[in-house]
Structure 1
Amino acid sequence: MEFKDLEIFQMVAIKGTITDAAKELSYVQSNITSRIKKLEAEMNTALFNRHNRGMTLTPEGKKLLVYTEKILSLTNEMKKVVQSKTEPAGKLEIGTVETVIKLPVILSSYSKKYKNVDLSLHTGVTEQLRNDVLHHRLDGAFVTEIDQHPELVSHNVFEEELVLLSDCSNTSIEQLLEEPILCFSKGCGYRARLAKWFKDQNITPQKVMEFGTLETILGSVSMGLGITFVPKSAVGHLEERGLVHCHYLPEKYSKVNTIFVRRKDAYLTSTLERFIETFEQVEGVMPYPLAY
């Protein structure tokens, strides 16, 4: 068994099809297929269920995936440990929610200073990103602070104020709640905060519409499609132009921290350590870590 076989197996498990895995790894499909068959022969069991829509893991395949993630993570960590501590280099996989306004400044500052680092950015909702960090798919991620997790270390980034956003200023909160709620998919920290307020107020939303990007949500709100709950810092430019209006909820629901999370048990490479130092030096960022 080779490490490359495990990498291919993991990618097929994540993507669900040979075609998508081959595209992600820049391999020909026949190579992916032969490697999977070879691994199944070595394990003496089927690892995937094949069907018209793609491939899903068998119970044995799910067990192997757990060990594969651990093996590949340790292998990657081993490579990082032996890198020079003086000059960050190699690949750095960072995740982020879409509303980290200071992110361009952070990325630009880091990339200009450490040119030997191959920095990749992945966007998503808090729950998904945190799960990717836990499963070693990301080195770290900017997420909304939710419940504490024992396997993560958290660094405070900044505090946000969430606002209920509509296209009209002369509308009461009660009237707004009759409008569709425009939001990210489940797992979004802002959506969870709004849901908590709904629950405490015994309110049932009339309609919820999910969108993939913040730009689409804000554009839809400005056109009167519905309302949303987002950081005020992300909509100030639209409010100044009179395209949207902010409505305020109690601090219990509107105050939220953006944090950066990483695995507690993972080796802190110079590459990641310098990245953390970079965002802690950005004005407005809170430079103290929370270990939990």
Structure 2
Amino acid sequence: MEIRQLKTFMSIVKFGNFSQAAQFLGYTQSTATTHIQLLEKELNTVLFERFGHQLMLTGDGERLYDYAERITKLAEEAKNVLDDFSIPRGPIIIGMPESLCVYRLKDLLKEYAAVYPEVELKVKLGISSDFHNMLRKNMMDMAFFLEEKIQEPDLVSKLLWPEPVVLTASPNHAFSRFAGVQVSDLGGQTLIFPDSGSSYRTLLEESMEKAAVQPGNVLEICQIEVIKQFVMSNIGLTILPQAAVQNELTAGTLVALPWLGPEFQINAYLAYHKDKRLSSTIQAFSKLVQERLLK
């Protein structure tokens, strides 16, 4: 029993004859006749009988008509649901570093949630190494990265923009009066870092290790706002994306030190796993990122 056969059957009932029903459906009359014959053979019954020139439903035909209406209606609803799959809906999980979420992407996330109210947007904060694993395990749909470059062959990545990174101090720190700060100057200093695994922290630590420079103390704090408060209190120095400290730099409560050491080349990327099925929800998010952030 096929949907098209049931539609032919219902059209014949509606028009009262085979020829008009066939014309309405775009079939030849012989095709419409074949549909009914196949139905009757499968159901082992007769669906129509003639009284003179009038075509009438048999008792089995009347019973089938009720089922045919329900079946074709359900089929149409299923088709509509699948057609509407182009409308973003359902959950999407996006990973991003705290600095990007708070200082770069708030407006974009707000707009996406407003434009696609049927999407359940979930944001996971973390570091790049965590995102790599979660994308590979399909625990996350897409992720933003702050890296020098992404080289993993199983990730499809889009370069978004270069992300400036600054070594930051209180205006009361002695370094704020230096004409330039070198790696060797960091020996014995208190450094305040975000979680281990952040690319900019790693770059600074690698440059210090290469120069055999040891800090005096290292404080690891997971929240950027707390880090900034510590630095403003002149407890130590930190390295952060410039976007995360721009308000404080403008207000003069923090200063960007003139760094003379190795250049920190950090870029923002949006990436997903190469085997990820790109639903309309994911595609809509990616499109919004490109429209709003790549102008």
Distance 2:192 2:160 in 1: 26
Q: Following the alignment from structure 2 to structure 1, what is the Cα–Cα distance between the partners of residues 193 and 129?
A: 15
After TM superposition, the structure 1 = structure 2 runs for residues 49-64 of structure 1, keeping only pairs within 5 Å, are none
> Does residue 1:164 correspond to 2:171, yes or no?
no
Q: After TM superposition, give the deviation of residue 201 of structure 1 in Å.
A: 2.5
The reply to whether residue 148 of structure 1 matches residue 140 of structure 2 is no
Structure 2 counterpart of 1:219:
229
Q: How does 1:174-193 map to 2 (within 5 A)?
A: 174-193=184-203
Match of 1:275 in 2: 285
Deviation at 1:134, TM superposition (A): 1.7
1:205 to 203, 206, 215: 215
Letter in 2 for 1:255: Q
SS of aligned partner of 2:289: helix
Specify the SS of the correspondent of 1:186: coil
Q: Give 1:249 shift.
A: 3.3
Superposed displacement of residue 207, structure 1:
1.8
Give the direction of change, closer, same or farther, for the CA distance of 1:124–1:182 in structure 2 (3 Å limit): same
Q: 1:130 aligns with which of 132, 150, 155?
A: 132
Counterpart Cα distance in 1 of 2:144 and 2:211: 30
Question: Is the CA contact 2:98–2:125 (under 8 Å) kept in the aligned structure 1?
Answer: yes
Separation of aligned partners in 1, 2:258 and 2:96: 25
Matched residue SS, 2:212:
coil
Residue 266 of structure 1 is matched in structure 2 by 276
Residue in 2 that maps onto 1:96: 96
2:24 alignment partner in structure 1: none
Separation in 2, partners of 1:197, 1:159:
20
Output the TM-score relative to the length of structure 1.
0.65
Relative to the length of structure 2, the TM-score reads 0.64
Deviation per CA, 1:51-80: give whole Å up to 9, x if none: xxxxxxxxxxxxxxxxxxxxxxxxxxxxxx
CA distance in 1 between counterparts of 2:211 and 2:108 reads 38
Rate the CA distance shift 1:231–1:223 in 2: closer, same or farther, 3 A.
same
With over 3 angstroms needed to count, the CA separation of the structure-2 counterparts of 1:102 and 1:253, relative to structure 1, is same
Task: Render the CA deviation track for 1:126-180: whole Å, top value 9, x for unaligned.
Answer: 2112222222111111111245111111112221111111113114635454321
Cα-Cα RMSD: 2.0
Answering whether residue 241 of structure 2 is matched by residue 238 of structure 1, we say no
TM-superposed CA distance for 1:110, in Å, is 1.0
Partner amino acid for 2:153? P
In 2, are the aligned partners of 1:193 and 1:253 still within 8 Å (CA)? no
Give ranges in structure 1 of 5+ residues lacking alignment.
1-81, 287-292
CA contact (8 A) 2:190 2:218 kept: yes
Which is helix-richer, 1 or 2? 2
Structure 2 alignment gaps of length 5 or more: 1-81
What is the CA-CA distance between 1:83 and the residue it aligns to? 7.9
The Cα of 1:202 is off from its aligned counterpart by 2.6
What percent identity do the matched residue pairs reach?
25
C-alpha offsets along residues 69-121 of structure 1, whole Å, 9 cap, x if unaligned? Answer: xxxxxxxxxxxxx6844201100011110111221111012111111100011
Cα shift at 1:243: 1.2
2:116 maps to which residue? 114
Does the 8 Å contact 1:130/1:143 carry over to 2? Answer: no
Q: Is the 8 A contact 1:181 1:227 kept in 2?
A: yes
**What secondary structure is seen at the aligned counterpart in 1 of 2:166?**
strand
Q: Deviations over 1:188-246 (max 9, x none)?
A: 11111112221333322222211111111111111111111111122121012221111
Question: Deviation at 1:255?
Answer: 2.4
**2:141 touches 2:272 (CA, 8 Å); kept in 1?**
yes
The code of the aligned residue for 1:90 comes to G
